[in-house]
Amino acid sequence: MRIKPLDRSIFKEHITINTIADAIDKKHIYIYCPICNKSKYSRSKVLHIHKSSANLSNRLEVRKGHCSTYDTTFNISITDDTQRL
Ligand SMILES: [Zn+2]
C-alpha cells in the first residue's frame, strides 16, 4: 500500500518548543525563534515577543507561539541565563 502525503500547505502542524527566553523586561519576554526566519532568503532569526506581566523572576511560562509556518506552543524557561533589560 502506498501512503499518499497530505497537502500540508493547507494547515499548520503543531509543534511544542522548549526553550530559554533570551531577555525579559517589565513588559515583555523576548525569544529568538528556533524555526522562524525573517524571510525565505534570510537566516536571521525572528524575535517573538510575549507579555511578561512585570514578573522578572525565574519560572516556566507556557505560551501559544507567533510562528508563521507552524502552530506552536512555547514552554519558555526564564532562567539565570535570561538577560534582564
Ligand atoms: Zn516562530
Q: pLDDT for 15-31, tens place per residue? A: 999 999 999 999 999 99
Is residue 17 a part of any domain in this protein?
A: yes
Residues 6+ apart with CB under 8 A from 77: 18, 19, 20, 21, 58, 59, 60
Q: At residue 10, does pLDDT exceed 90?
A: no
Cα(69) to centroid of ligand 1, in Å?
8
Containing structural domain, residue 70: 8-84
User: How far is it, in rounded angstroms, from Cα 60 to Cα 18?
Assistant: 10
Domain count, the chain: 1
pTM: 0.84
Q: How far is the CA of 2 from the centre of ligand 1 (A)?
A: 33
| Assigned domain for 1 exists | no
Handedness of CA 36, 32, 79, 24 (dihedral sign): negative
Neighbouring C-beta atoms of residue 46, cutoff 10 Å: 16
Q: Please, what is the Cα angle at 45 between 47 and 76, to 5 degrees?
A: 50
Mean per-residue pLDDT over the chain, rounded? 93
As given in the structure block, the three cell numbers for residue 66 are 507567533
Please report whether residue 53 resides in a domain. yes
Assess if residue 48 is contained within a domain. yes
Is residue 24 within 8 A of residue 33, CB to CB? The reply is no
Distance 52 CA to ligand 1 centre (A): 18
